C-alpha cells in the first residue's frame, strides 16, 4: 500500500514575502495595526515639527516661516547671549525647585493614605484625579478671578481675614513669594492626582509578605516599614515620577501666561517668565522672529533631553533590578 508523503513544495515568492512580513500567527501584522497610528502621529506632530525647527533655526526668518537667509549658528549664539533668555532659564530652575519636590511628596502622601483605606477607595481615587481633566487655562482663570483675585471677597483673602490677617493683591505687586503662591498652588492642584495614581499603582504591586516578614523581623513603627520596605519597592515609580515632573516643569506656559497677563510682554516681574513664555513673545510677538524662536526651542528641547538622561542615570531609571 503506497505511503502518503508530505508535500515538499515551497510556497511561491509572493506568499513567502507575505509570511515573512506578517510573522508567526500574524504577530507583526497586528503589531503595526495597533502601533502604526500612534507612530504616524508621533512623526507628524513631534518629529517633523522638531526637524523643521532645527532647519528654520539656521536661517533668518522674520514675519514668515519661509527661510530667507542662511545664518548658520548665529541665532543660537544670539539666544545664549540674550540675558532675558538666560533669566527665563533661571525661572524654570526656581519653578522646578518648588514644584517637583512638592508634587512628589503630596502625591506620595495621598497615595499612601488612599491605599490604606478599607472602603471608598475608588471614590477618593476619582476625587483626587478629577483636577487632571481640567484645562490649565480654565484653572488659571479660576485662580485669578475667584481664589486669588485680590478683592475683599476673594477666597484666599477671606481665609486670611478669618485668621486675623490682611488681604493681599496677589497678582498686582511684583513680589515673587506673593504671586508664586498662586502659580505653584495651581500647578500642584492640577497634577498631583495623576502622580498619586502612579504611586498607588506601585504600592499595589508590593507583595504583602514583605510587610509580614518585616513585622516578624521587628519592624514595628510605620516609619521603619515605609523606609525599609515601601520606599525601596517604589524606586522605579519614583524615578519615573521625578523625570515626568522635570519635563512638565520645563513645559510650564499656561499658568504663567494667563496669571501674569496683566503685565506687558516686556515688563514681566522677576521669575515670572519661563522659557516657553519668552519664546512665545519672540516668535509670535511684534517682530515674529521665527529664526531666533526656533533656535530657542531647539535649545530648550536639547536641555529637556539632557536633563531627562542625567536624571534617569542619577535615580537609576531603567537599570536592571530597579523594579524591586
**Concatenated DSSP letters for 210-277?**
HHHHHHHTT--SHHHHIIIIIHHHTHHHHHHHHHHHHHHHHT--HHHHHHTTTS-TT-PPTT---HHH
Task: Please state, in angstroms and rounded to a whole number, the distance separating the CA atoms of residues 54 and 294.
Answer: 7
Half-sphere exposure for 69 (CA within 13 Å, toward CB)? 7
- At 251 the pLDDT is 84
| CATH code for the domain defined by 70-315 | 1.10.3720.10
Among 187, 169, 155, which residue's Cα sits nearest to residue 256?
187
Q: Does the pLDDT value for residue 66 go beyond 60? A: yes
Grid coordinates representing 197 are 495614581
Q: Among 135-139, 223-227, 274-278, 320-324, which is the least confidently predicted range?
A: 320-324
CA distances 206 to 151, 214, 223, 274, 294, Å, are 49, 13, 17, 39, 45
pLDDT interval class at 185 (50, 70, 90) = very high
The string of pLDDT tens digits covering residues 253-294 is 888 888 876 654 556 666 778 888 888 888 887 778 888 989
> Residue 74: what pLDDT?
92
Distance from chain centroid for Cα 253: 12
Instruction: Check the CA dihedral 224-229-233-234 and report its sign.
Output: negative
Question: Model-level pTM?
Answer: 0.80
Looking up cell 513544495, which residue turns up?
A: 9
Alpha-carbon 270 to chain mean position: 24
Return the top range by mean pLDDT from 37-46, 111-120, 255-264: 37-46
pLDDT of residue 34: 83
Cα(87)–Cα(95) distance, rounded to whole angstroms?
Answer: 12
Q: Determine phi and psi for 70, rounding to 5 degrees.
A: -75, 125
- Here the cell at position 178 is 506673593
Quick one: which H or E segment has residue 60?
strand 59-60
Average pLDDT, rounded, for the chain: 82
Alpha helices in the chain (DSSP H): 13-22, 27-42, 48-56, 74-80, 83-115, 121-129, 136-142, 155-162, 176-204, 208-216, 222-225, 231-233, 235-250, 254-259, 275-284, 290-315
Q: Domain locations in the chain?
A: 70-315
Residue 46 DSSP class: I
Q: Is the pLDDT of residue 216 over 90?
A: no
What pLDDT score was predicted for residue 107?
A: 95
90, three cell numbers: 533661571
In angstroms, the Cα distances linking 53 to 49, 84, 99, 223, 235 are 6, 21, 29, 50, 36
User: Is-contact 82 273, C-beta < 8 A?
Assistant: no
pLDDT attached to residue 158:
87
Amino acid at each position: 500500500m503506497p505511503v502518503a508523503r508530505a508535500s515538499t513544495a515551497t510556497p511561491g515568492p509572493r506568499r513567502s514575502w507575505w509570511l515573512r512580513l506578517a510573522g508567526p500567527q500574524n504577530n507583526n501584522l497586528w503589531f503595526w495595526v495597533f502601533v502604526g497610528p500612534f507612530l504616524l502621529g508621533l512623526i507628524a506632530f513631534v518629529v517633523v515639527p522638531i526637524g523643521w525647527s532645527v532647519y528654520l533655526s539656521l536661517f533668518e526668518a522674520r514675519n514668515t516661516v519661509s527661510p530667507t537667509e542662511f545664518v548658520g549658528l548665529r541665532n543660537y549664539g544670539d539666544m545664549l547671549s540674550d540675558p532675558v533668555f538666560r533669566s527665563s532659564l533661571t525661572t524654570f530652575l526656581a519653578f522646578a525647585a518648588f514644584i517637583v519636590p512638592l508634587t512628589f511628596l503630596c502625591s506620595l502622601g495621598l497615595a499612601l493614605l488612599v491605599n490604606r483605606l478599607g472602603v471608598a477607595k475608588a471614590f477618593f481615587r476619582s476625587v483626587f484625579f478629577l483636577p487632571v481633566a481640567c484645562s490649565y487655562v480654565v484653572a488659571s482663570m479660576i485662580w485669578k478671578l475667584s481664589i486669588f483675585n485680590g478683592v475683599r471677597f476673594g477666597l484666599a483673602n477671606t481665609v486670611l481675614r478669618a485668621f486675623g490677617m490682611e488681604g493681599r493683591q496677589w497678582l498686582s505687586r511684583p513680589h515673587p513669594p506673593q504671586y508664586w503662591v498662586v502659580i505653584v498652588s495651581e500647578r500642584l492642584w492640577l497634577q498631583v492626582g495623576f502622580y498619586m495614581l502612579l504611586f498607588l499603582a506601585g504600592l499595589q504591586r508590593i507583595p504583602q509578605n514583605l510587610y509580614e516578614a518585616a513585622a516578624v523581623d521587628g519592624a514595628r513603627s510605620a516609619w521603619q516599614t515605609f523606609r525599609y520596605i515601601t520606599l525601596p519597592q517604589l524606586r522605579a515609580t519614583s524615578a519615573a515620577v521625578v523625570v515626568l515632573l522635570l519635563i512638565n516643569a520645563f513645559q510650564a506656559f499656561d499658568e504663567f501666561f494667563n496669571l501674569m497677563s496683566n503685565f506687558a510682554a516686556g515688563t514681566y516681574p522677576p521669575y515670572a517668565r519661563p522659557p516657553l513664555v519668552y519664546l512665545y513673545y519672540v516668535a509670535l510677538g511684534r517682530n515674529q522672529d521665527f529664526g531666533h524662536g526656533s533656535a530657542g526651542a531647539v535649545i530648550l528641547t536639547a536641555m529637556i533631553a539632557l536633563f531627562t538622561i542625567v536624571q534617569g542615570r542619577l535615580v537609576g531609571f531603567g537599570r536592571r533590578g530597579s523594579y524591586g
